[in-house]
Structure 1
């Protein structure tokens, strides 16, 4: 089992941008649950379209995984939502594979 200090050292050594690191911290503090991109963007004070590239960086290095869901809104309109969580220990993501 790794300590939080070892985990942060690994993330910093992965050569990701400052924005990607900010997103990683928010996702890590949220735990293992899926978190919507809108909630992540709100937590870091950015717009949802501004987090796309930093999330792609995190996926590229295998730190997070994403899931797209086709959901229905209150007004019965269907739309896609993207959810993100930390990559479970011992697994690889599609980007890292």
Structure 2
């Protein structure tokens, strides 16, 4: 999962590097639950204030990046690098309520 906060990505791949992000259920499987563990120090904003997204791997092994429409294409390379995505990825700009942030209000 990731957020774009003040022009910088805050990323949390599900791997051993971030043990608090290893579950696909429980306390860290969605942005709201994960936010409680990873909220930047001193930040009082709710989890859905900032633009955000996630990387999923399809059952065919293809990376799918679900991303807020408010995160520019210039961040896709950094997202792919951070999440160790080699080659292509499916980019899905998500216009749904799930990825709304303060820019949509």
Q: Normalised by the size of structure 1, how large is the TM-score?
A: 0.30
More helix by share: 1
Q: Normalised by the size of structure 2, how large is the TM-score?
A: 0.29
Larger radius of gyration: 1
